[in-house]
Each structure stands twice: as C-alpha cells, then as structure tokens.
Amino acid sequence: MSNIVVLISGNGSNLQAIIDSVKNGAIEGRISAVISNRPGVFGLERAEKAGIPAITVDHTKFTSRADFEQALSQTIDQYQPDVLVLAGFMRILSSEFVQHYLGKMLNIHPSLLPKYPGLNTHRRVLENGDKEHGTSVHFVTAELDGGPIIAQRSIHVTADDTEESLQQKIQQQEHKLYPEVVSWLCNGRVQFKDGKAWLDNQVISI
C-alpha cells in the first residue's frame, strides 16, 4: 500500500479525482496528507471532508524560497511518502528539493508538452490558433515541466473555445488520466530510471 502526499495550491479537482480513485480501489495507496502553499483554498476543504490531514505551508510567510522549501520538505517527510503528487501546485521547485524526491514526484501540466511549459497554456493555445491541445503527466525534474513524460491526453480546439472552455475540456481528461498514472507509480508499473520514464519495463518515448 503506497503512501501518497499531494501538494496543491487551489481548487483541488485533480486531488478530488485521486481521492475518489483511492476510495474506489483504483489506486492501491492511501493519501497521508494534503499540503497547500496557499491558505483557505477549496482543495484543503476537499481533504478535510475526506478525513485527510489538510496542512498549509504558506510560501508568503517565508523570506526566501529556500526557507519555504525547507519547511515544506520537513512537513512532507513527516509522512514518509512513496509518491509525491503535484496537483495544481503552483510553485517552481529548486533542483535541491526535486533531487530529494526524484523518481517519486509527479506533475500534471495542462498542455501537450514539450509545447507550452509554464503558465497560461490555454491562452497561448488560443493565441496561436492551435487546433489540438491536451494535458501531460510527467516526472518532476529540475527543468520546469521538462521531466520525462509518462502519459498525455489530447482534445480538439474549436473556434468557439475560450480559456474557460478549454480548462473544462482539459480537466475532464486530467481527472481520468492522473489517477491512472498515480496508480501505475503506486503499483510499480511506471518507474524513473536512467533519467527516463519506463512503463512495464519499456522506455516511454513521447
């Protein structure tokens, strides 16, 4: 039974999808804690409702990123996670922090990486007139949104799409994809080896 810690910064709809998948047995694990860098976000309410410790490590209370990350990792390590899930966690992490969790830390990013790392992906898709968009789950490395991709799901962009409609379409895919990939890491089907992502002992090349 894998020990999961989830980091959030906001609404927590991906957290909710993972909570639901643990509850229905699709994920062989338990969520030991949910940690937010922002206080009062709805994702913390989701955790409390599910009976999961909901903790805030407010990055604005620290004078440096290093001090914030030290507090964050001390909090995380109390729960000794096998899997660390970034679910809408909106802080760029240092290489030192990433190294400490390398190979057990996942992120979901709302674009078809390597297109559009960073923020405001839906806006950029619309600005560029892209006809395809999507979401990616990857191992977290020091390179922002540059870690080995494990899985992606794509959607079609239509002429009447807005940032809001794209977010809705993307998140419908995310809420199916992320719990599946988390379950693969929990049951050992997916691994981080030699700087690459492996599924069922085959290198994933996306």
Ligand X SMILES: NCC(=O)N[C@@H]1O[C@H](COP(=O)([O-])[O-])[C@@H](O)[C@H]1O
Ligand Y SMILES: Nc1nc2c(c(=O)[nH]1)N[C@@H](CN(C=O)c1ccc(C(=O)N[C@@H](CCC(=O)O)C(=O)O)cc1)CN2
| CB of 101 closer than 8 Å to CB of 93 | no
What's the rounded Cα separation, in Å, for the pair 170 and 190? 23
Does 91 engage in binding with ligand Y (CB under 6 A)?
A: yes
Q: Which does 174 bind (CB under 5 to 8 A by kind): ligand Y, ligand X, none?
A: ligand X
Q: Give, to the nearest 10 degrees, the angle between helix 42-49 and helix 13-23.
A: 10
What's the rounded Cα separation, in Å, for the pair 169 and 178? 15
Q: Which does 203 bind (CB under 5 to 8 A by kind): ligand Y, ligand X, none?
A: none
Exactly one of 66, 144, 203, 206 binds ligand Y (CB under 6 A); that residue is 144
Residue 102 host element (H or E) = none
Residue 91 assigned to a binding site: yes
Exactly one of 2, 5, 7, 10 binds ligand X (CB under 6 A); that residue is 10
Question: Known catalytic residue: 156?
Answer: no
Structure tokens at 189: 């089907």
Q: Which stretch binds ligand X (CB under 6 A): 47-55, 167-175, 181-189, 191-199?
A: 167-175
Q: Which does 92 bind (CB under 5 to 8 A by kind): ligand Y, ligand X, none?
A: ligand Y
Q: Which long-range contacts (CB under 8 A, 24 or more apart) does 69-74 make?
A: 69/93, 69/94, 69/96, 69/97, 72/7, 72/35, 72/37, 72/97, 73/97, 73/100
Does 66 engage in binding with ligand Y (CB under 6 A)?
A: no
Exactly one of 2, 21, 171, 173 binds ligand X (CB under 6 A); that residue is 171
**Catalytic center residues:** 109
Contact residues for ligand X (CB under 6 A)?
A: 8, 10-14, 43, 87-88, 108-110, 119, 135, 170-171, 174
